[in-house]
Structures are given as C-alpha cells and as structure tokens.
C-alpha cells in the first residue's frame, strides 16, 4: 500500500544525492594549488583508493560465501526469506558506494582546502565543509533510496490476495530489515579494516618520526606520513560513513518492522501503514532540514576557533530545532495514532544525542578540567597519564548511560500511552527515538567528514611548506575538526546503542516470521494455553522462549555477550599493535638505508608504507570480523532464541559502555597532549609533553579503532541474529 | 530442625579456629632475627594496625547509620526483618575480626620468615605459608561459626507451631541471608580502602624511588618503603580476606535459601532441611580437607621455583581431589534427593575455579608467550607496552567467561534433572557450584595470604641488608607469592561471579518474604490468574514482575548496571592517582629537605608516608563505597524489583568481565617487567625495562585496586538489594 505522502521519501533521497553531486562539482572546479600540492594529494588519493579496492576484494569474497549460504538456507532448507540473498547484496553495495563516493570527494578536497586557505579562512571552511557534506548527503540519500526501492518493489510483488493485509505489511518490513545485514557486513570491514589501517600508520609514524627522530607531524621526511593521511580517509571518512549508513538504515527499518508488528493484532491496516512509513518520513524531512543547515554554515574572515565552532553549531542546531518542530507537523499530517506523544519519543532521541555530544565535549576537550587534569598527571610521568586517562574514560560513561537509560524509559512511555504493559507500542517508541537521533545525520556526518579533510589539508600545507599564515588557517580548521570528530564519535555510539535496541526488539518479529515459515501456527505454553502466532504479543514471545533473567541460557548468553565486546576490542587493539610494529620497522629501515632522508635530500618510499598498512589492515581485520559474524550463529545453534537474546543484550549493554569509555579516554589523551602543546605545563618538548605523547599514542587505537568498531559489533550481532532467525527457530541444541 | 549430622558444621569451624591459633602460637615462638629486623617489622605492623583502626572507625560510623536505618525500617515501617539490625552487626564484626587476626599474624610473620630463610628455604616456606594459613582458617572458621550460631539460634527462637514447617525454614534461611550485608559492607571498605592505600604507596614509592632517584625496590632510603610494605598487608591480606569471607558466607547462605525455596511447594520438610544444610556440610568437609592439604605443603633444601610451586600445588590439588570425592560421600550419607547429580554441580564449580586459575596463570606468567609479547612491545616504547597489555587483558576474558557460562548451564542442568523448566532446583545447582568452588578456601586463601608475607620478608631482608644467600631465598619465596597472588585473584573473581548469581537468584526469595510481610498473599496476573505467594515458583515471580529482556525497566537497569561497574572502577583508578600524587610530593619533599637521605646518613620520615597513605585511602574510599550502596536502593525506589534485577545482572555480567580484564592486564604488566629483569631484552636499566616499568605502574591499580574492588561491587549490590527487598516491594515510582 503506497499513498502519495510516501513519495516524499524517494524525493528527499534524490534531492540529497543531487545536492551532493552539485557540491562535488563545485569543489572540483577549484584549483588544487601548486604542482607539489596536487602531487601529494594524488599520492594520498591513490593510496586511499588502492586500499579501498583491496578491501572491497576481501569483502566481495565474504559476500559471495554469505550469499551462497543464504541461498542454500532459502531455497534448499526453506529457513530463510528468498529475497535475502539479493537484498543482502544491495545493502552492501550501496553502503560501499557511499563510502567510495565520500572518500573520493574527501581526497580531492584536501589540497583544494589548503589552497583555498591561502585566500581566506571562510573559503577554506566552505570547501572542506561542503565536501564533508557530500559524504553526509550520499549516506542519507543512498540509504533512503535503497529503502524506498525495496519498499515499492515488495509492495508490488508480494501478492496481497493470499493473506491478511496486516500480515502482508509485516512480511514486507521484516524482509526489508534483513537487508541491513549487507550494510552491516560492509560496515564491519570498513570500520575494523579502516580503523586498523589508520592507527597502524599513525602510531607507526609517531613512534619513529616524533619520538625517535624528533621531526614534527606531517613532515615530508617521514616515510609514513602519506600512509597516515591515507588512514584519515579510509578510517574516519569511509569507515565512519559505513558505520552511520548502517545505523541510519537499521534504525529506520527496525522501526518500520516494529510499527507493522504493533498493528498486526488490531487489524487496523491503515494505521499500520502509517506506523511503517512514519520513520521514513521523519528521515526524509530530516534530510531537507539538514540541507538547510548545511547552507547556514559560513564564517567571516577573522574567525577564531570559537567563531568556527559557533558557525558549525548554528548549522546543526538550526537543523535539530527545525526537525523537532517538523516532527510534530509531519506526524500530525499523517494522523498517526497518538501522534503527539510519538513525536515526543522522536524528540527524546534527538535530545539524548545532543546530551551525549555535550558530555563527550566536556570530557574530551582541553577547555575543561577533566582533560587538563590528565595533562597535569604528566608531571609524574606517562604512567599517571595513562591511569588518569583510564579513570576519566570510565567515569565519563555515567552521563551518556544515564541519558540513554532515561531515553529508553521516556520514549517507551510516551509511545505506549504511559503503559509499561503495552510493549509493542513502547518498543516502537524506542525505535523511533533512534530515528529521531539520526534524523540530523545529513549535517552531523558532514561535520564529521569535514574533520579528516581539514586534517589532510593541514598535512598538505605542511608538506608543501606553505606560508605561516596559511598554516595558521589550516591549523584552525584542523583543530575545529578534532572537536567535531569527538562529538561525532559520541553521536555514532549513542545512535548505535538505540539502533541496537530497536534491532533487538525487531528480532522477535523475525522469529515470528521464521516460525510461520517452518509451519508453526500457535505458541503452546506449559500451562496448556495456546496463542495463534500472528496474534501473539512481544510479551507472549518472551514467555514462550522464557527470556527471563533467571533462565541459565539467558545468563550464559549475557556473559558471553559481555565477553564478546571485550574480546573484539582486545583483538583489534592487538591488531593495531602488530600492524604498527611492522610500520615502525619499515620507517626505521628507510631512515637507515635511504641516504639523506633526514636532511631532505633523499626521497622516502611513501608507497611502501602505504602498502604495509594496507596489507596489515587486510590481514588483521579477518579474524575479529568473522568472530563477530559467527558468535551469534553459534550461540543460536547451541542455546536457541533465548540464548541469542541474552548474547545480544549482554553485548549491547557492555559494548555501549565500553565504547564510550574507549572513545572518551582516547579523545581526552589526544587533547591533553594538545593542551600541553598550547604552551601549558612546559609546552612542547618538555617532560610533561613526552608523557602526554605516550597517552596520545595509546589513545589512538582506543578512539579510532577499537571503540568505533564496537558500534558495529553492537549492531552487527543483532543483524546476524535477525538474518539467521529462520535457522535458529528451526534447530538448536538446547 | 537440627539433626546430629548438622553438628559437623560448628565442629569443623572450631577445628579451623583452633588450628589457626596453634599455627599462630608456633610462629610466635620463632625469633624475629636481628634488632633491626624486629624494628622494621614493628614499623610495618604499627602502620598496618593504625591504618586498620582508622578504617574500622569509618566503617563503624557507616554501620551505625545503617543499623539505625534498618531498625527504623524493621520496627517503624515493618518493611524489614527484625533480626537484620543485630545480624548485620555480627556479619560485619566477624569479617572485621578475620581481617584483623589474619593481618596481625602476617605482620608478625614477615621478619620471622626472613630470619628463618637465614637457616633454610624450607623453614622460610613453612613459617610464611602456615602464617598465611592462619588467615585462611580464620576466615572459613569464623564464617561457618557465624552461620552455625544464627542457624541454631533462629531454629530455636522462631515458633514452629504458628506456621507450615517448610515456611519456617524458608524464613530462617532468608533471614540469615541478609546477614551477609554486614560482611559485604566491611569487605567493601577493606577492599576499596586497602586497595587505594596499597597502590598509592606502591606507585608513589616506585615513581620517585625507582624512576626518579634510581634506587631499588624496598631500599631503606626511600621514605615510602614502609608504607609500601604496610600496603601489602592492608590490601592483599586484610582486603583479600574480607572479600573472600563475603563470598564464602554469601554462597553458603544463598544456596541454603535456594534449597529451602526449592522444597517449599512440595511440603517435603525433611528434604528441604537436607537441601539447606548440604552447602554447610560441603563447606565443613572442605575445611577438614583443606587442613590436610596445608600439612602436605613442604619442600626440600635445594628447591627451585618450580619445586616450590609444585609443593603448593600438591597441597591444593590434594584438597581439591579429596573434596570432590567426599562431596559424593557426604551427599550420599545425607540422602539428598538427586544426590549424585547435585554432587556433579559441586564438582562443576570446583572445576571452573581450577580452569580460571590455570587461564590466569597462562595469561599473566612470564613463562608463557602472551606476557613475553608485552615485554617485546617495550622495544617500541611504553605506549606499545600499554596497548598490548590492554589487548592481552581483554582477550584473556574469553576462557574464564566461557568456563563460567558453561559452569552455569551444567550445574543448573545437573541439579534440575536436565530440565530447564525446573528453575528452583537448577538455581540451587548454580548456588552449590559456588559453594564447591569456595570449599577449598581454607588452603587457597592460605596460598594467597602467603604472598604478602613473603613479599614483606623480602623487604625486611633488603632493608636490613641480609646476606646474598638469604636474599636469594626470600626472592624465591616472593616470586612464588606473585604467582599464587595472580591465580588467587582469578579465583576470587570467579567465586564472586558465581556467588553474585546465587545471591541474585535468592533475591527473589527475599521478595517473596517481603511481599508476605506487607500482607500480600497472592500474585495477581493480568490474565486473571492468581497464585498463592508461598506456592509461587521462580518463573511465576519473573512473570509477575515481567523481568523479561524487552521490559524497558530491565533494559534501563542493565545499562545502569554495566555503567556502575565502569564508574566504580574509574573512581577507584582516579583515587589511586590522586593519593599516589600526594605520596610522590611527600617523597620528593623528603629527598629535598632531609639531608643525607640518599647517602644513607639521614633517616627518612617513614611514619609521615604511612600517614599520607592512610589519610588518602580513608578520604578516597568514601564516595565510591557509598555509591555502590546507594545505587541499588535508588534503582529500587525508581524502577522497583524489575529494574533492580536488571541493574544486578548488568553489573554482574559487565563487572565480571571487566574485573578479569583488569586483573590479568595488571598481572601481565607486572610480570612483563619481571621478564625483562630476568636479563631478557636488555635487562634491568635498559630502554625496554623502562618501558615495562610504565606498564607495571599502570597495572598496579588495575590488579590491586579497581579489579578486585569489582568483586565486592558484584556481590554488594546484590546484598543491598536483598536487604532492601522489603522496601522495594512496598514502594517504587514505576
């Protein structure tokens, strides 16, 4: 069933894509500056593209295996939806495409930003920010386009006559939900591989360059410097984009499935339809208003860092406020049941996102005491820097968790009519809160992707020896990027947590469809009651599978889930350690063997370092990635649905807190070092500075590899469970 | 109801106490060696005692407040058991007494061990180990004595005529369970305060002494060296003892309550009685066989470290095997229903404990690759040492968690007759597995407490400049202590996890009694069913409170529980950082102001450093401790029983994994440094060594403060919930 209002969704997505294309073309018209600037940019671009190609090859082979597996499950054993094998591919393809386009734009933009900074600060900001906006718009545009496409297709091909209409919509939404796994798998490799790449290069470059050879960051004499700049693109642009593409699609699809579920029992097909398209409409409106925000970002010539921050804040705040207001409007127009309170759930999500962002800024910015205290701990050496950073990171989990917990309760209560027993509407409320948080993604992701562009522009300016005035401008742009990167990380984690919850709730819907597929029609309870499956509520399923907290399968699952978060983190930490070790050896070798490299007479072999990072990342990403995919499958085969839910919730609750801890500790260490470099506590080169450099190096994999990879783990395990639901209900050991 | 077989329990406890007294007397007969040795030992002893007195003062004031609160709840509002205010005190008193006696013995034993080492290695081992055994025996002896006393008392004062006999036993066991909170509260301050003290002194001493002044460990010129030795006693003896006292009593009491609950519905009072005393009997038999093991520990003159380890292993393994066999015997004699399989649950617990210990050794000993790899990471500086240590710690969580998860499933299945639906017997199985794991506590704790005694003996020998041969012997004893300390930590965490689960399960029993106390007699369900409370099963209560994983109150509680584990850790980490900072300043001040201190001519002001650590620890322990007590109360007041269970399980699953991570990372860093000091990778004083010293310093609060404190958090939150159950059922916001 498709009514006119639905068409807002594909139109908004096309609008986003057109604008992205326009921004891209505009940026390409600018000059790249001197020949050397262009040359360095092309080095970075080629390195990044060659990495991405390598990664796509690995991902493609994983996809082939999985598609065959899904096809066997679907057509051989009938425990899988027949659309999944194809749809899995489109999700993966669009996610990969978004990463590719965003990164390509970013790598073209860096030299142009540096060159524009020779003219003025505002010009530099415009180019960098609008190029970042390409990423934001491509992600939301392709995401909504994929969703619209499948929604229209499935609506027309699934025969309505054969079944109850509420059942039809329920099948459509649960089928669409499984598409998310394609995006999830793509995101997994992008985040983990990109994360390992970027930090292997960064840590390697820092350890030998800064610490041993004593040359500054981004110095052209350092052979790892190009790899380091490549890393920013593959990790922070492509990786972050794929992560949020997944959250974006996942939250919309999960909420649609929950919306369909909420109205199956009532038979009110019109309201069901409205509940299904509500999250898509909110996302569509969010796109339009994000675009408005993007245009509002501008600054004047003599802008300070504060002015710059304010101009970005103007854009995002404007979008947020407008979305909050419009949500009431669009849900009112849609005449969704209980529209006012459902809109309040959306606003709750938006607010939780803002609170997490603010708290991240407080705990990681050198303008506030917590980070300054880490710098001060440097007076007694690196050990106390590490201890106080870990302490800060752990303490910093309190505000985000309380915000999310409150958000869960409120969004549930609002949407359920303040009735805890009304789980189907309550969970819909949690889902739509996630959509609310992510509705600003067009502009939030623009500010995120802006960071690495500005960073690379700074690197380009440094390597090409541009004037002091230009360096000052690119430094200002870079510094702004560091702050937006930190808040962006908080936003990515928060949205992953809410999306993870929405996915977890919609897992029950997949179980329902899975049971129907294998021919079960009623739920039989021990006390003799029988409930027809398509009338069963969430609570009925919880009792049917005995998903209570005293079931040993749930308990075992939860312990395993918590452990998975730590294990996954530990594996990625060690991966960075090993890959960085190879990089260190290579840089040392070049310093030793290439004559005149430190005097600037000999040219370092940049390509070799890029190659080492690429190989290291490709090699190291395989094991943790496969583990994340396999864990929920094995748990399902042993402990069934009950154990899987335990695993997911254990992984979600521990993983969320662990991710915040790691991101904030890492961010704070980074800025504690910056604080010292701003001529505090002895300034650059002093003992305190050396101590904080150790903290910064430890923080690199915390904030850019392991921490962000947890976002994926949280969502991916749910996605795998969802796609494997058919198998899990058909067979398990216990 | 008390039958003859029960009297084994108090008899075993008195046997343990007598033997402890005998060992103490024997040790006191030995000479303390030279005058200087006696003087240094008395410095340490006085420092430790003065710390303990300070701590008891703080604890006493907290106890006064809580007793008043409980009395008001019990006699004013009728939402609390009337016995709790008194029994709370006995639990706290006995736990404190055990810590006091154990630590007093330890501080008398150190100089005597050093002196005995002048004669022979075996003599040194005997004195140190048997003095450690005093701690082990006092803990199990006082624990079982307290339990026996209250069991006999309540059996005689609670009128049997007035009620159903199964109900009577149920009331007795749930009342006794609340006594555990006294022990929990005492343990909280002992672990947190002791942990902060010991690491503030250690980190402070190391940072200035080893790193800045370049003088070796335990050098008498270092003013913090006495405080450091005091710290070993207050943290690793008194703190560890209180922690395990709590686990020991908690697991026995929780299992007794679960045993009573399992037979309430059947009305089989004889079997109920057997299920209640079974855990006590297993513990009693464990005491006797631990004593046998203690006597089996001896070594010959030319023992290597391997021989020493083997002689300790002979003792503990002998005890474990005998306990495993005897468990079948005692449960057969008791004619407990399903005795064979219940005994299998006990063995499961024992095995899980052993697996955790082995895996801890693998991941933290420098004889194996994981720790050696950390040392190798030192080649690229301190940052990579930290990264690889954190990676190792996180990865090392896998085996213990899988072991515990498997243990949960197996012990549940065995005791429940392989029926997942039989929750009452299944949970009893999990409880008795915890008792099984802790049944060897008499000897395991002896090996734990041995560690700090040997460490202090080494310190004493160093400070008094005893001969090289003696130093070699005390070094061997000390090194042995480091290994037992690491496995002991694993054991403490594993037992805390299982005990926490048993407490969590028995929480439902307290809810039941709480409901009855406020006059509710049936559980009313939404679908009209009514179940009389005293006939309701675990599953009924789960459904009544809707403790399913899709309830937002459960979800919010779980997020908050996970966060609590991190927050608590972060607060204790920072506390160590701050307290160590004060110590560093003081040591620097003394080096600066006291003339001739570094040449050995001036005497450092040891007492001032002891005072600073004491004050720091007392001051810093308050906030995290109160937070741990208050969190479950506030959660209960807001989210009711449902939210509390979520909080507990979230805290338990995250806290357990986090605790293993921190303990193992810390242990591995410590030994990675030792590995370098054993003349690997450049040996002492090289760059790799310097890098690993940073790791060791970071690891100190990981393994000795924050990690172990989590054991308490896991159990304490459950205990608080149990004691507050009456209030929670009477009133909550949602």
Q: DSSP string covering B410-439, please?
A: HHHHHHTTS-TT-HHHHHHHHHHHHHHHHT
Of A111-120, A253-262, A573-582, B263-272, where does mean pLDDT reach its minimum?
B263-272
Question: Rounded to an integer, what distance in angstroms lies between the CA atom of residue A432 and that of residue A502?
Answer: 8
Bridge partners, residue B523, by sequence: B531
Find out whether A391 and B571 touch, Cβ atoms under 8 Å: yes
- In the numeric block, the tokens 């501008």 are attached to A298
Q: Within an 8 Å CB–CB cutoff, is residue A661 touching chain B?
A: yes
Q: Within an 8 Å CB–CB cutoff, is residue B157 touching chain A?
A: no
For residue B402, give how far its alpha carbon lies from the nearest alpha carbon of chain A (Å): 7
| A337 part of a folded domain | yes
| B511 part of a folded domain | yes
Position A162 scores a pLDDT of 60
* Helix boundaries (H) for A30-164: 35-71, 84-119, 121-157
Question: Rounded to an integer, what distance in angstroms lies between the CA atom of residue A112 and that of residue A114?
Answer: 5
| B614-656: pLDDT as tens digits | 988 988 999 999 999 999 999 999 999 999 999 999 999 999 9
Residue A386 has pLDDT above 90, yes or no: yes
| A80-91: pLDDT as tens digits | 888 889 889 999
Check CB contact under 8 Å for B566 and A397. yes
Contact residues, A window 354-383, toward B, CB-based 8 Å cutoff:
377, 380-383
Q: Within an 8 Å CB–CB cutoff, is residue A538 touching chain B?
A: yes
| A240 part of a folded domain | yes
Q: Within an 8 Å CB–CB cutoff, is residue B333 touching chain A?
A: no
Best CA proximity match to B551, nearest among A264, A427, A653, A345: A427
B370: nearest CA partner in chain A: A574
Across B314-326, average pLDDT: 93
Check CB contact under 8 Å for B409 and A553. yes
Residue A298 has pLDDT above 90, yes or no: no
Q: How confident is the model at residue A388 (pLDDT cuts 50, 70, 90)?
A: very high
| A376 part of a folded domain | no
Position A2 scores a pLDDT of 83
Residue A160 has pLDDT above 70, yes or no: no
If one counts every other C-beta atom within 10 angstroms of the C-beta of residue B31, the result is 12
| B72-109: pLDDT as tens digits | 998 988 888 888 888 899 999 999 999 999 999 999 99
A205: nearest CA partner in chain B: B380
Check CB contact under 8 Å for B734 and A420. yes
| B132 part of a folded domain | yes
Question: Rounded to an integer, what distance in angstroms lies between the CA atom of residue A18 and that of residue A472?
Answer: 34
Torsion angle of C-alpha atoms B272, B277, B282, B284, degrees rounded to 10? -170
Find out whether B665 and B390 touch, Cβ atoms under 8 Å: yes
Non-local CB neighbours of A397 within 8 Å, separated by 6+ positions: A657, A660, A661, A664, B563, B566, B567, B570
ipTM: 0.95
Across A223-237, average pLDDT: 90
Mutating which of B403, B413, B562 best tests the A interface, going by the most A Cβ atoms within 10 A? B562
Torsion angle of C-alpha atoms A300, A304, A310, A312, degrees rounded to 10? 70
How far, CA to CA in Å, does A421 sit from each of A503, B533, B549?
20, 22, 13
Contact residues, B window 507-536, toward A, CB-based 8 Å cutoff:
508, 526
Q: Which of B395, B402, B563 minimises the CB distance to A571?
A: B395
Residues of A in contact with B423 (CB under 8 A): 550-551
Average per-residue pLDDT for chain A = 92
Q: Within an 8 Å CB–CB cutoff, is residue B247 touching chain A?
A: no
Across A44-50, average pLDDT: 92
Torsion angle of C-alpha atoms B469, B475, B480, B482, degrees rounded to 10? 180
Question: Rounded to an integer, what distance in angstroms lies between the CA atom of residue A58 and that of residue A37?
Answer: 32
Give how many domains chain B has, as a whole number: 1
Tokens encoding B44: 């340490």
Find out whether A568 and A709 touch, Cβ atoms under 8 Å: yes
| B121 part of a folded domain | yes
| B659 part of a folded domain | no
Bridge partners, residue A531, by sequence: A523
| B260-304: pLDDT as tens digits | 998 887 888 899 999 999 999 999 999 999 999 999 888 887 777
Q: Which of B388, B405, B556 minimises the CB distance to A574?
A: B388
Q: How confident is the model at residue B480 (pLDDT cuts 50, 70, 90)?
A: confident
Residue B350 has pLDDT above 70, yes or no: yes
Q: Within an 8 Å CB–CB cutoff, is residue A550 touching chain B?
A: yes
Q: How confident is the model at residue A29 (pLDDT cuts 50, 70, 90)?
A: very high
For residue B657, give how far its alpha carbon lies from the nearest alpha carbon of chain A (Å): 6
Chains A–B, number of C-beta pairs less than 8 Å apart: 286
Check CB contact under 8 Å for A574 and B501. no
Q: Within an 8 Å CB–CB cutoff, is residue A732 touching chain B?
A: no
| A439 part of a folded domain | yes
> SS3 of B102, please?
helix
Tokens encoding A368: 């506030």
| A543-602: pLDDT as tens digits | 899 999 889 999 999 999 999 999 999 999 999 989 998 898 899 899 889 888 888 888
Residue A164 has pLDDT above 80, yes or no: no
The boundaries of the domain holding residue A48 are 4-370+382-523+530-730
Position A188 scores a pLDDT of 92
User: What share of chain A has pLDDT > 90, as a percent?
Assistant: 67
Mutating which of B387, B581, B586 best tests the A interface, going by the most A Cβ atoms within 10 A? B387
Q: Within an 8 Å CB–CB cutoff, is residue B426 touching chain A?
A: yes
Question: Rounded to an integer, what distance in angstroms lies between the CA atom of residue A105 and that of residue B537?
Answer: 62
Q: Within an 8 Å CB–CB cutoff, is residue B412 touching chain A?
A: yes
Question: Rounded to an integer, what distance in angstroms lies between the CA atom of residue B659 and that of residue B496?
Answer: 10
Q: Within an 8 Å CB–CB cutoff, is residue A576 touching chain B?
A: yes
Position B160 scores a pLDDT of 67
Question: Rounded to an integer, what distance in angstroms lies between the CA atom of residue B223 and that of residue B221?
Answer: 6
Q: Within an 8 Å CB–CB cutoff, is residue B656 touching chain A?
A: yes
Position B161 scores a pLDDT of 63
Q: Which of A412, A653, A701 minimises the CB distance to B387?
A: A701
Bridge partners, residue B239, by sequence: none
Question: Rounded to an integer, what distance in angstroms lies between the CA atom of residue A479 and that of residue A626?
Answer: 36
User: What share of chain B has pLDDT > 90, as a percent?
Assistant: 67
Helix (H) or strand (E) holding B274, with range, is: helix B269-296
Q: How confident is the model at residue B467 (pLDDT cuts 50, 70, 90)?
A: confident
Q: Within an 8 Å CB–CB cutoff, is residue B649 touching chain A?
A: yes
């Amino acid at each position: 069933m498709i009514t006119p209002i639905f068409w807002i969704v594909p139109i908004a997505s096309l609008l986003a894509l057109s604008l992205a294309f326009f921004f891209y073309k505009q940026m390409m018209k600018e000059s790249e500056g001197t020949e050397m600037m262009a040359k360095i940019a092309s080095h970075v671009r080629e390195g990044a593209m060659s990495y991405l190609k390598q990664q796509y090859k690995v991902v493609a082979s994983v996809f082939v295996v999985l598609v065959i597996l899904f096809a066997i499950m679907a057509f051989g054993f009938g425990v899988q939806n027949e659309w999944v094998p194809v749809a899995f591919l489109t999700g993966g393809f669009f996610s990969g495409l978004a990463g590719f386009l965003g990164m390509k734009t970013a790598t073209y933009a860096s030299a142009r930003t540096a060159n524009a900074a020779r003219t003025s600060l505002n010009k530099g900001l415009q180019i960098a920010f609008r190029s970042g906006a390409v990423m934001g718009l491509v992600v939301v545009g392709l995401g909504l386009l994929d969703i619209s496409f499948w929604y229209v297709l499935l609506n027309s091909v699934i025969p309505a006559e054969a079944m109850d209409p509420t059942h039809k919509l329920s099948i459509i939404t649960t089928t669409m939900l499984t598409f998310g796994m394609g995006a999830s798998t793509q995101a997994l490799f992008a985040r983990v591989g990109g994360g390992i790449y970027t930090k292997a290069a960064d840590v390697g470059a820092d350890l030998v360059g800064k610490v041993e050879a004593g040359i500054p960051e981004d110095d052209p004499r350092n052979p790892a410097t190009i790899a380091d700049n490549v890393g920013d693109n593959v990790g922070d642009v492509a990786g972050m984009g794929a992560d949020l593409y997944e959250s974006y699609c996942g939250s919309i699809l999960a909420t649609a499935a929950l919306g369909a579920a909420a109205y199956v029992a009532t038979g009110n097909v019109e309201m069901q339809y409205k509940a299904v398209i509500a999250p898509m409409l909110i996302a569509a409106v969010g796109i339009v208003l994000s675009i408005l925000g993007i245009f509002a970002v501008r600054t004047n010539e003599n802008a300070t860092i504060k002015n710059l921050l304010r101009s970005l804040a103007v854009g995002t705040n404007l979008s947020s406020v407008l979305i909050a207001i419009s949500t009431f409007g669009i849900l009112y127009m849609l005449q969704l049941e209980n529209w006012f309170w459902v809109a309040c759930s959306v606003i709750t999500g938006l607010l939780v996102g803002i609170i997490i962002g603010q708290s991240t800024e407080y705990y990681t910015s050198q303008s506030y005491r917590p980070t300054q205290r880490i710098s001060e701990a440097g007076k007694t050496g690196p050990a106390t820097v590490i201890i106080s950073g870990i302490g800060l990171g752990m303490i910093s989990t309190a505000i985000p968790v309380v915000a999310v917990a409150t958000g869960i309760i409120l969004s549930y209560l609002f949407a359920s009519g303040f009735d805890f027993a009304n789980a189907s509407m309550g969970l819909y409320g949690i889902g739509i809160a996630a959509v609310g948080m992510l509705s600003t993604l067009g502009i939030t992701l623009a500010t995120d992707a802006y960071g690495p562009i500005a960073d690379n522009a700074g690197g380009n300016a440094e390597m090409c020896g541009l004037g002091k005035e230009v360096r000052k401008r690119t430094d200002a742009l870079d510094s702004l990027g560091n702050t937006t990167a930190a808040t962006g990380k908080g936003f990515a984690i928060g949205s992953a947590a809410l999306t993870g919850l929405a996915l977890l709730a919609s897992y029950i819907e997949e179980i329902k469809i899975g049971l129907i597929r294998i021919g079960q029609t009623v739920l039989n309870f021990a006390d003799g009651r029988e409930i027809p499956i398509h009338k069963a509520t969430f609570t009925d399923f919880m009792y049917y599978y005995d998903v209570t907290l005293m079931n040993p399968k749930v308990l075992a699952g939860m312990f395993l889930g918590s452990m998975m978060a730590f294990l996954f983190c530990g594996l990625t930490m060690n991966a960075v350690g090993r890959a960085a070790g190879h990089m260190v050896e290579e840089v040392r070798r070049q310093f030793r063997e290439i004559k005149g490299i430190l005097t600037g007479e000999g040219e370092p072999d940049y390509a070799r370092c890029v190659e080492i990072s690429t190989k290291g990342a490709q090699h190291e990403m395989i094991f943790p990635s496969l583990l994340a995919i396999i864990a929920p499958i094995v748990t399902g085969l042993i402990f069934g649905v009950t154990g899987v839910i335990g695993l997911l919730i254990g992984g979600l609750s521990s993983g969320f807190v662990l991710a915040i801890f790691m991101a904030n500790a890492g961010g704070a260490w980074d800025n504690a070092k910056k604080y010292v470099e701003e001529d505090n506590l002895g300034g650059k080169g002093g003992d305190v500075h050396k101590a904080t450099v150790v903290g910064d190096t430890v923080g690199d994999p915390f904030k850019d590899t392991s921490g962000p990879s947890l976002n994926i783990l949280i969502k991916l395990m749910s996605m795998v469970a969802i796609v494997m639901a058919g198998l899990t209900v058909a067979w398990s050991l216990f």
